[in-house]
Amino acid sequence: MNAVVIFAVLLIGFAAGLRGLTPPAVIAWLAYLGWISLANTPFSFISSPIMVAGFSVLAMGEYVWDLLPNTPSRTAAPGLISRILTGAFAAACLLAGTNNGLGFFILGALAAIAGAFTGLQIRVRLVRALAVNDAFVAIPEDLIAVGLSIFAVCIAVSR
């Protein structure tokens, strides 16, 4: 296991802390497109068109859900637990796709916790400092989660 893959696992976990369903959706898409091979791993199912579509719909739903006024905090138990699970899942997929075993998938879960709390603090502070509607910070945060997820896969597979 090298430092680049560990860094990639931490990045994708952090992205899950920002948007829980984005990293699995990105991995599904990138596996479907052949950027990462999950064939002959326990996660080969994720590259199927059905899973790509399913994760994409779920991620898009999360983007909309996040903008609703009564959405609970990402650090409340249900949101945090789901981010921990998706961070661990995305990390496990990344590790399996780079033939690094699954031993460090827990780092993805821990990074998701860090991403959830850090992302919340940054978002709240930016909304206050800029005196803007929350959506003006939430949408760029969505894009950051997508970008971090893609970057994590790219650096992991290019090592």
Radius of gyration (C-alpha) of the chain in whole angstroms = 15
In three-state secondary structure terms, 96 is helix
Asked if residue 1 has pLDDT above 80, the reply is no
Q: Residue 144: is it exposed, middle or buried by C-beta count within 10 angstroms (0-12/13-18/19+)?
A: middle
pLDDT of residue 131: 95
Q: How much of the chain exceeds pLDDT 90, in percent? A: 93
Residues in contact with 99: Cβ distance below 8 Å, sequence separation at least 6, in sequence order = none
Q: Identify the pLDDT of residue 157.
A: 93
Structure tokens given for 19 = 């948007």
**Predicted local confidence at residue 55, as pLDDT:** 98
pLDDT in tens, 2-16: 899 999 999 999 999
pTM score > 0.85 for this model? Answer: yes
pLDDT at 100: 85
Residue 115's contacts (CB-CB under 8 Å, 6 or more residues apart) are 13, 14, 15, 16, 17, 18, 83, 87
Q: Give pLDDT, residue 104.
A: 87
Residue 99, token pair as written in the block: 């033939």
- How high is the pLDDT of residue 84? 97
